[in-house]
Each structure stands twice: as structure tokens, then as C-alpha cells.
Chain A
Amino acid sequence: MKIAVLSGKGGTGKTLVSVNLAAVAEVSTYIDCDVEEPNGYLFFKPEDVEQEEISVQIPVVDQDRCRGCRDCVEFCNFNALAYTSDRLVIFDDVCHSCGGCVLVCPYDALQEEEKPIGRVERGVSEDVNVCTGILNTGEASGIPIINNLLDQETRGETLIDCPPGSACIVMESIAGADYCILVAEPTVFGVHNLDMVHELVELYNKPHGVVLNKCIGDDNPAEAYCRDQGIDILAKIPFDEKLGQINSNGRIAAREDDDFRQIFADLLHRVKGAGR
């Protein structure tokens, strides 16, 4: 079963939930799609790590062949090419790698070249296959890395740790999921962003439920929202100093504390039942 964990707002506990669920499953694959700020590997500290470089296609110009017709410049909707001082200039960082400029060039002056934008690391931590996408700093889009991560054979339960937000990058991450866990924190910020991702999973018709994290006191706007909208509340994780300590030190609560192990085992059981 493929379970995507998302939240809209950052820092609500997506990585906490997905890492610990992967840890309590008998056999599992953890996929970190938050390629801009991947954190899951800090917890798993995987061994036998293999790296794969991820590249995109970027045009390069043969200045001797270029006659300055500017067809490519006109064609590019991303303004990634300009013709100045009798030379064609290419701006790699805004290129979307559509290949259009190469197609339209009448003089075969453009060719494509691989440009690395990041890497995927695959390793093992106990019974968890740990897959991490890492975008190079300064690069704009990690979508090719996410596609590589999602387009692979997985073993056991698959946990997909999504990036924050509800833009295209999140849609890519949940497209193939069987079930979506929405993680929310008890603030009006949390509710506002929960509402956004809720809309997203409804649009995709994905079975889903909410994990309320950092629960403290009785006042929980996120819980009120779920009751109001009739969304399944899968678990309530208390605001807990011990859990905070374990987590902030990059350790896995379910691997070192029976109570926390039980919370996440129950959650996994519940999700597997609901996704069936």
C-alpha cells in the first residue's frame, strides 16, 4: 500500500509521522519527496547508500552554426534564450527542458546536454528501504527528482513524505498514492493550510484521514475543522516534551519507546483498514 503524508503548512510533523510509520511496518519503503529540504535520512541514517545523479536536458548552442534568426528566442515561453551582441545566450536556471528550441532551430545549431540538478540516495535502515531526493541549492525545481523517486519498485508498505504546500510538486507526490494522511497542528495557520490540502485530496478522490499533532489543552481548531467537515481523525499525538526531545535529536520515537511505538502501530493498522 502506498501512503502519502502531506500537510500544506510546513513543520506540522509530516516527517515524524512518515518516518515512524515506516519504522513500525514489518517491511517498508520510505520515500522523501521533500527534495528541497529532505530530513527523513537524518532519522534513519541509512547504510549501504547508493547515489544516482539526476539531470535535466539543457540546450547548448554551436555559435558557428547559429545565424541569429532568433526563432528559438521567440519560441521559448520561459525566456530562457536571448540574442545579444551577435550571440545566443542561454539561461539554464529558467529553462524548463521542453526541447522546443532544438526543434525550431532551422540550422541545427542547438543540441541538448545533461545538467545535474540533484541526486537520489538509496540505502537501508533495519527493515526500511530509505530513498531520499536531494535538490542542489540554487536549482528551482525538483520535479524530475520526485518523478525518479516515485517511478521505482518498492518493498512492503510505502510511505511518501511530501513537500509542504499544495502546488504541482505535491500533486506529483500524491498522484499514485492509495491513501493520504493529512497532518495538522492546532493553530489557525494549521487549519487554513489543512483546508487547502483537503481540497487537493478531494479533487484527486483519494481516501484520506487526519492526524492531529502537537495536541495541547482542549482548544484545537484543527479538530473542530475535521468534525465540521466530517473528516476521519486517525490519531491524536500529544504535545510531549519527551517526543520533542527524541525527534529534535534525529532519533526515531517508535524504535526506542513502547508507548510511541504503539501510537504509530495503531495508526498504521487504522490506515491499512481504511485504505482497503
Chain B
Amino acid sequence: MKQLLILSGKGGTGKTTITSAFIKLGEAKASADCDVDAPNLHLVMDQLTEPERADYYGLPVAEINQNLCRRCGKCQEHCRFDAIKDGDGQYRINAFACEGCGVCEYVCPQKAISLRPAVAGELMLYNNDMVFSTARLKMGSGTSGMLVSEVKKRLKDAASADLAIIDGSPGIGCPVIASLSGVDMVLIVAEPSLSGISDMERILETAAQFKTKAAICVNKADTNPENTERILAFCRERDLPFVGKIPFDQNAVKAINNGQSIVDIDCPAGRAVDDVFNNTMDILVYEELK
């Protein structure tokens, strides 16, 4: 299974819009949403029936048995995550700050602390004529990278398709790094703003560190032609494949708000994405032949 991951560094450049179009254009039988912090792809997926749901257990969370606690304070002293607070005559664990390392349990002379499994999110697998794997991290949880790996594992286990299209999350940190693992190629959706260019450079650097091949497209390209030109020049300079420009198009917003993909309607953005898709697939297939 060839895996194409769509990333951007900066948020809101159009990852999900382009992912949903690519799924349609490639008639992909496998897809996943790795933006577990703020998943949206399911909102524009066709004919979703009820998914198979599963709880996701992240790292455990410490719990203090107040009956055994003698208030020595060793747990608080050793906790590196500031997750143990002394208040109302009791030491309490802040479950949001606790990373489940187990140091408090180890140092407690009273054996008053234990680590308990904790649900940190929910996994959803839609398995019809296409497989779609997604998840939602529970608010305030910190193990998004592990959940991303789980989303991808469930996709791989369930799907036997040739092509998988995967929507990524913004940023360059742990969920992005987890989503990069094992993919054949990344498409970076850049935006022609100074912020967009700076973020594109950082995500390209990250992809390169994990030795993942990257291609670049510019969304809303006509909103700042000079900056679009700068992105093109950057790609030429670094010998990075540039796969196309997509214009700003109000129809895109309308399509999304109707739960459609932009290639479901006839619009300039949809036509441009078609070219971007073909150029991207050429690179993905060419790499395979090499």
C-alpha cells in the first residue's frame, strides 16, 4: 500500500480540503485522519455508516490512596511534571499534567500511589467499500503521537488497497512525527504568506530529518502572487518537486459547508486540485519504479 500524507506546518492552509479531493480523484479505498487533536475529515466523507469504536488507552495516570498517604511529600518533590499539588490537607494528582512515568509510585514509602489505565481518546474505523480510520484525542491529553500511530495501524490492518491518502495535523511535533513514519511521500500544502513560508520551511526540514520525500503545492496562490513566486523559487533552489497552484475560491467554502469535496462541484479550485493530484501521483508512481 502506497501511503501519501498531506501536511502543511501552518494550520488552515487547506490540508483537509485537498485530502478529501484526493480521496475522490484517486478513488482511494483507504484513508485516515491523523489530526487527532482537531479531526475534520469525517465531516466531508461520503456515506459514512456507524464506525467500529474503540477506547484508546494512552499512558496510565497516578492515583493516591488517601488512606495510606502519610503526607511525606516525596511524590511531589520527585514529580518532574508539576502534577502533584498539596491542597486541603491532601496531595492530589492533576490527571492532565501527569505523564504516567511512575516515579511517584516508586518513591512513595507507603505504597499509597498506583498507576491506573486511563482512556485518552476514541478510535473510529469505518469499514465499507473503503476503509477510513480516524480518532479523537480526549481534551487535554498529551499522547497524540501514540494515538496517531494507532490510527495508522488500524488502517493498515483493515485495508488492502493500493493507495492510502492520509490527512495530517498542523505543526512539526509529536503527532506530525508519528504520522510521517512509514509513509512513501508527503504533500506539503503551503500558503503564500510570510507565516506560511516560514512554516513550510520548518515542516520540510522535519520531513527531511525523517528521510521522507516531499512535494509542494500552493493553496490560495492568487491571494499573494509575489509570495507564491517566492515559494516557487525556493523549490527550484532546493530542487524540490512543485506540483501546482490552487486559486482562492469561494466555492470551496460552500462545498465544505455542504459536506462535499471541492471536486464534487465544477469550480476553479477543484480543477486546479485535479492537476495537483496528477502531478503528485506521477511522482509517487515514478518513485515506485525507481
B57 is an interface residue with CB less than 8 A from chain A: no
Indicate which residue in B9, B171, B224 contacts A249 across the interface (CB closer than 8 Å). B224
Q: Which residues of B contact A100 (CB under 8 A)?
A: 101-103, 106
Contacts of B106 in A (CB 8 A): 75, 100, 103-104
Residue B272 CB within 8 A of the other chain: no
Beta-carbon contact of B194 and A249 below 8 Å: yes
**Cβ contact within 8 Å between B173 and A171:** no
Which stretch of B47-55, B139-147, B151-159, B263-271 is in the interface? Answer: B139-147
Complex interface: chain A residues within 8 A of B97 (CB): 168
Q: Mark B34-59, 1 if CB is under 8 A from A, else 0.
A: 00011010010000000000000001
In the bound complex, residues from chain B placing their C-beta under 8 Å from that of A97 are 80
Residue of A nearest to B199 (CB): A37
Indicate if the CB atoms of A137 and B256 lie closer than 8 Å: no
Rounded to whole angstroms, the CA-CA distance of A98 and B206 in the bound complex is: 25
The interface bits of chain A over 228-253 (1 if a CB of B lies within 8 angstroms of the residue's CB, else 0) are 00000000000001001101111000
Q: Say yes or no: A15 contacts B195, CB within 8 Å.
A: yes
Contact of B209 (CB < 8 Å), options: A11, A137, A247: A137
Q: Is A193 an interface residue (CB 8 A)?
A: yes
Given A137-B205, A139-B173, A248-B223, A77 contacting B194 (CB threshold 8 A) = no
Q: Beyond A37-B172, A99-B103, is A10–B10 a contact (Cβ under 8 Å)?
A: yes
**Nearest Cβ on chain A to B72's Cβ, whole angstroms:** 16
Among B170, B177, B256, which residue has its beta carbon within 8 angstroms of that of A188? B256
* Docked complex: A34-57 residues within 8 A CB-CB of B: 34, 36-37, 39, 42, 57
B172 contacts A36, C-beta separation under 8 Å: yes
Whole-angstrom CA separation of A189 from B59 in the bound complex: 29
Cross-chain contact A78 with B141 (CB below 8 angstroms) = no
A40 to B250: give the CA distance in the assembly, Å: 27
A82 to B101, CA, bound (A): 16
CB distance from A274 to the nearest CB of B (A): 23
Q: Does the CB pair A11–B11 fall under 8 Å?
A: yes
B199 partner residues in chain A, CB cutoff 8 A:
37, 39
Return chain B residues, CB-CB under 8 Å to A193: 38, 40
Q: A10-B170, A36-B173 are in contact. Are A137 and B102 (CB under 8 A)?
A: no
A-facing residues in B63-96 (Cβ within 8 Å):
78, 80-81, 96
Contact partner of A168 (CB less than 8 A), chosen from B107, B142, B169, is B142
- B-side interface mostly: loop
Whole-angstrom CA separation of A36 from B176 in the bound complex: 10
Is A9 among interface residues, defined by CB-CB distance under 8 A? yes
Q: How many A-B contacts if CB must be within 8 Å?
A: 182
A168-B43 in contact given A10-B11, A103-B103 (Cβ < 8 Å): no
Alpha-carbon gap, A96 to B59, bound state (A): 12
Question: Do the beta carbons of A135 and B195 come within 8 Å of each other?
Answer: no
Please indicate the chain B residues that have their CB under 8 angstroms from the CB of A167 in the complex.
37, 137, 139-142, 144
A69 within 8 A of partner (CB): no
Q: Does A165 contact B (CB under 8 A)?
A: yes
Partner of A99, one of B80, B202, B250, B253: B80
- The answer to whether A141 and B195 touch (CB under 8 A), given A98-B80, A171-B96, is no
B83 to chain A, nearest CB (A): 11
Complex Cα–Cα for A12 and B14 (A)? 11
> Are A75 and B102 in contact, with the CB atoms below 8 A?
yes
The answer to whether A103 and B12 have CB atoms under 8 Å apart is no
What is the CA–CA distance of A142 and B196 in the complex, to the nearest angstrom?
A: 20
Interface hit among A195-203, A256-264, A265-273: A195-203
The residues of B that contact A137 with a CB separation of less than 8 Å are 172, 202, 205-206, 209
Answer whether residue B251 sits at the interface, using C-beta atoms and an 8 A cutoff. Answer: no
Chain B residues within 8 Å of A164, by CB = 11, 37-38, 170-171
Our pick among A98, A187, A219, A248 for the contact of B224 (Cβ within 8 Å) is A248
A103 proximity list for chain B (CB < 8 A): 78, 103, 106-107
Interface residue B193 (Cβ < 8 Å from any Cβ of A): yes
A77 near B170 with CB under 8 A, answer no
Q: Which residues of A contact B110 (CB under 8 A)?
A: none
Chain A residues closer than 8 Å to B206, beta-carbon distance: 137-138
Contact A9 B102 (CB under 8 A): no
- A187→B195 contact, CB < 8 A: no
Nearest CB in chain B to that of A250: its residue = B194
A132 to chain B, nearest CB (A): 12
7 smallest A-B Cβ distances: which pairs?
A: A10-B11, A11-B12, A165-B37, A248-B193, A98-B101, A250-B194, A168-B142
Can you list 16 A-B contacts with CB-CB less than 8 angstroms, sorted by A residue number?
Answer: A10-B11, A10-B38, A11-B191, A75-B102, A98-B99, A138-B209, A166-B139, A168-B96, A168-B142, A169-B173, A186-B253, A188-B257, A189-B16, A192-B43, A219-B257, A248-B192
A36-B173, A37-B172, A96-B80 known; 14 new pairs, CB 8 Å cut-off, are A37-B198, A96-B99, A98-B81, A103-B78, A135-B173, A138-B177, A138-B209, A142-B173, A166-B38, A193-B40, A200-B139, A203-B140, A248-B194, A248-B227
